[in-house]
Amino acid sequence: MTDKTLSQDLICGFIWCVALGITFMFCWILFDIISHGIPEISWTFLTSSVQQAGRSGGIGPIIISTLLILLVCLCVSIPLALATAILLSEFSNSHQRFTRLISTSLEILAGIPSIVFGLFGNAFFCIICGLGFSILSGGLTLACMVLPILTRSIEIGLRSVSDDYRLAGAALAIPRVKLLWRIILPAATPGLVAGLMLGIGRALAETAALIFTSGYVDRMPGSLLDSGRALSIHIYDLAMNVSGGETNAYATALILLVLLLVINLVAQWLSHRFLYRKVQL
């Protein structure tokens, strides 16, 4: 019996060590970025334009470009993903072959490396569609890329809603779509918001797909057809191609991290509010 307890304790200790190790690495990265980044950050850094290829100056145009790329991406991908997820989860038993085709292609799409999206975006949006290196090309490429994540997490969210609701709705002869909007979507909100969060996070973090679609230009974009440099590309460029760009790279990395954190928190706050309102109804 003591032999057994000992091995149980060892396993328990080992698992705690794994968790602590992961936590340690996480804190290390975070501490490194924050401690190097914070001294550089100021209001002027956030708003002024890039100078000397990024060695000095700020990141104003880069933040604007990033947000525009994100906006294009979400405007295209959210409706597509929502509709596809609804088809897969709510109507899936009616047309087996078609839905299987869709879900398999999403599965493959999800696995495609971002650099391959970059290749595709470069060949299709930039050259064939004639959009050139532009925010629009970048956003559209990203939209293709986040589509599977968005769709799958929305689908999982919808599926996790108990079938009892659907059966009860069917028994009351409520059209499925009404049931979906009134009961199932609200019930699935946390899952949906989590999915949206993942999608935004992935889009904001993306670099490889953007290098050859939205381009490198670090000026303030005048329109969606201008090239714009995303935050992530700015970090990459400063770290790899600009000697002496490290301090600004740290600062930009910190901004990117903070942005991701804020999006995370806002999404969570929204989902709580939404749920609360629905419960009161």
Partner 1 sequence: MSLSPLDKRWFWLCRFFAFTCALIICFIILFLFVESIPAIQSIGLERFFNDSSWHPTPDPSTGSFNLSAMLVGTLAATLGAIIFAGPLGILAAIFCHFYAPKQIAYLFRRMIELLAGIPSVVFGFWGLVTLAPIIRNLAPPGPSLCAGIIILTMMILPTVVLLSDAAIKNIPKKYIEGAAALGLSRWSTIKSIVIRASKEGLSNAIMLATGRAIGETMAVVMVCGNIAQIPNSLFDPIRTLTANIALELGYATGQHRSSLFFSGLLLLGIITMMVLISEKLKSEAIRD
In whole angstroms, the minimum distance from the beta carbon of 233 to partner 1 comes to 8
Cβ closer to partner 1: 14 or 44? 14
Interaction between residue 119 and partner 1 (CB under 8 A) = yes
Per rule CB under 8 A, count of chain residues that contact partner 1: 86
The three-state (H, E, C) secondary structure of the chain, written as one string: CHHHHHHHHHHHHHHHHHHHHHHHHHHHHHHHHHHHHHHHCCHHHHHCCEEHHHCEECCHHHHHHHHHHHHHHHHHHHHHHHHHHHHHHHCCCCCHHHHHHHHHHHHHHHHCCHHHHHHHHHHHHHHHCCCCCCHHHHHHHHHHHHHHHHHHHHHHHHHCCCHHHHHHHHHCCCCHHHHHHHHHHHHHHHHHHHHHHHHHHHHHHCCHHHHCCCCCCCCCCCCCCCCCCCHHHHHHHHHHHCCCCHHHHHHHHHHHHHHHHHHHHHHHHHHHHHHHHHHHC
Q: Which 154-173 positions form the footprint of partner 1 (CB under 8 A)?
A: 156
Looking at 6, 38, 75, 123, which residue binds partner 1 (CB under 8 A)?
123
Binding region for partner 1 (CB under 8 A) out of 3-11, 47-55, 61-69, 217-225: 3-11
Looking at 64, 239, 242, 275, which residue binds partner 1 (CB under 8 A)?
239
In whole angstroms, the minimum distance from the beta carbon of 280 to partner 1 comes to 25
Cβ closer to partner 1: 6 or 280? 6
Cβ closer to partner 1: 28 or 42? 28
Q: Binding pattern to partner 1, positions 44-83, x when CB under 8 A?
A: -----------------------------------xxx-x
In whole angstroms, the minimum distance from the beta carbon of 65 to partner 1 comes to 15
Q: Which 99-118 positions form the footprint of partner 1 (CB under 8 A)?
A: 99, 101-102, 104-118
Q: Which 176-205 positions form the footprint of partner 1 (CB under 8 A)?
A: 176-178, 198, 201, 204-205
